[in-house]
Amino acid sequence: MADSSDVPHDGSWRSASWRTQLRRRLLTWFTTSARDLPWRKTRDPYAIWVSEVMLQQTQVATVIPYFERFLRDYPTPAALAAADEAEVLRRWEGLGYYRRAKQLHAAAKRITAEHGGRFPETFEAVLALPGIGRYTAGAVLSISRDQRLPVVEANTLRLYSRLIALRQPPTATAPNRLLWEVAAAILPRQQAGRFNQAAMELGALLCTPRNPDCERCPLRSLCPTRREGLQEEIPGKVRTLQYEDRSHVAVVAQHEDRFFLRRCPPGGHWAGLWDFPRYDLTPAAALPGDALAAEVERRFAAEFGFAVRLGEKLKTLRHGVTRFRITLDAFTAEANRREADSAECGWYQPHEILDLPLNTTGRKLSRLLP
């Protein structure tokens, strides 16, 4: 096991005086500089949990209206647990990373079944819920119940890396363990939740990945990274994700006044959401038009048991999913018959599609229907 004591860094954080100054300055700054956010107006652990899940990999400005609508529709874990998953996914539509919504729903069911509908208040019980890791459990319990639990997420990982002048990539095993040690050591005995929020806020507003605003930072005189001019080198670089270009084709099949959609299967992208049938034709998408149409028609018939004839291109959309950059060419298509609906696919009039939980590109294509 990697030893965090061997990680090169500045050890000022081990000084009680240094930690006391940091706490006092950070909490004072937060009093005057904290953003007015709806989840900061409650101590309800359920509401704070919802906000933390929504904020994962999503901008604050995007989350605010979703959070307010979600809490209005599902004010308690029991209300969320009682909702149909498709309904929950429809409410989540546009936030992306839909697995978060599915896990939120599953965890609400667990809370209702095992905790009487009350959000649990021990770290172990919260950690046992679907989709909740060390960071989320610590954030929810420290903010809602002032439990002295550390938080290391994207913003505090960067902030703490700079406060100890961490000379190695912070996601590596030993450096990451050290950052959790630092996060635990600097927590005050009281106001732990407020301190965690302040640290996350400072990372989000001032201690940014590029061009951090060190002159306005309340911790500038305590920061060895600023003192040594290493703001652009710390945190250490992590492996850059290499994106793959993919070419997909979507089939917007129509029979009379209805359009054919399917539910995305478990285990793949957008599992549980609805979409127009789509096929990864990389590198076949480079085929001439007739060959491309024949291949799409063959795959469609093999999957659904009835034929379509591809028509005009409806739209080209570009989007990203995990490590893929996808070019999606959507084509109209005429179906030779209308199969009976099932739980996994069916025919819908345009106004009926409004109520289905669609992935982002599916929703964009649905808006083009006559």
What pLDDT does 160 receive?
98
Indicate if 222 and 295 belong to the same structural domain. Answer: no
Q: How far apart are CA 189 and CA 365, in angstroms?
A: 53
User: pLDDT by residue (tens digit) across 26-40?
Assistant: 999 999 999 999 999
> pLDDT, tens digit, for every residue of 98-151?
999 999 999 999 999 999 999 999 999 999 999 999 999 999 999 999 999 999
Residues 194 and 251 reside in one and the same domain: no
CA 200, 201, 205 angle in degrees (round to 5)?
Answer: 125
In the chain, the number of structural domains is 2
**179 & 295 share domain:** no
pLDDT of residue 336: 87
pLDDT given for residue 3 in this prediction: 59
Domain membership flag for residue 116: yes
* Residue 118 belongs to some domain of the structure: yes
Q: Assess whether pLDDT exceeds 60 at residue 2.
A: no
Output helix, strand, coil percentages for the chain, rounded to the nearest 5.
50, 15, 40
Name the catalytic one among 52, 93, 153, 201: 52
Q: What is the pLDDT of residue 285?
A: 59
For residue 268, what are the domain limits? 244-366
Angle of helix 134-145 relative to helix 192-205, nearest 10 degrees, comes to 120
Burial of 48 (0-12, 13-18, 19+ CB in 10 A): buried
Residue 1: its pLDDT value, please? 45
Q: Same structural domain for residues 186 and 94?
A: yes
* Residue 24 to residues 29, 34, 104, 205, Cα–Cα distance (Å): 9, 15, 35, 18
pLDDT at 240: 63
Q: Which two tokens stand for residue 306?
A: 């009835």
Say if residues 155 and 203 touch (Cβ distance below 8 Å): yes
State the pLDDT confidence band at 80, using cuts at 50, 70 and 90.
very high
- Output the pLDDT for position 195: 98
Identify whether residues 222 and 248 lie together within a single domain: no
Instruction: Based on the fold, state whether residues 60 and 206 are members of the same structural domain.
Output: yes
Chain segment 338-367, per-residue pLDDT in tens: 888 888 999 999 999 999 999 999 999 999
337 and 251 in a common domain: yes
Query: Which CATH number is 158's domain given?
Result: 1.10.340.30
Average pLDDT of the residues of the chain:
93
Clarify whether residues 164 and 23 are in a common domain: yes
What average pLDDT does the segment 264-287 reach?
A: 85
Catalytic site includes residue 52: yes
- Mean pLDDT check: name the lowest of 9-18, 217-226, 233-242, 316-325: 233-242
Same domain, 151 and 269: no
Average pLDDT over residues 174-202: 97
- The answer as to whether 233 is a domain residue is no
Percent of the chain at pLDDT > 90 equals: 84
Q: Looking at residue 343, what is its pLDDT?
A: 85
Distances from the Cα of 331 to the Cαs of 6, 141, 165, 298, 310, in angstroms?
Answer: 58, 49, 53, 15, 7
**Could you tell me if residue 235 is inside a domain?**
no
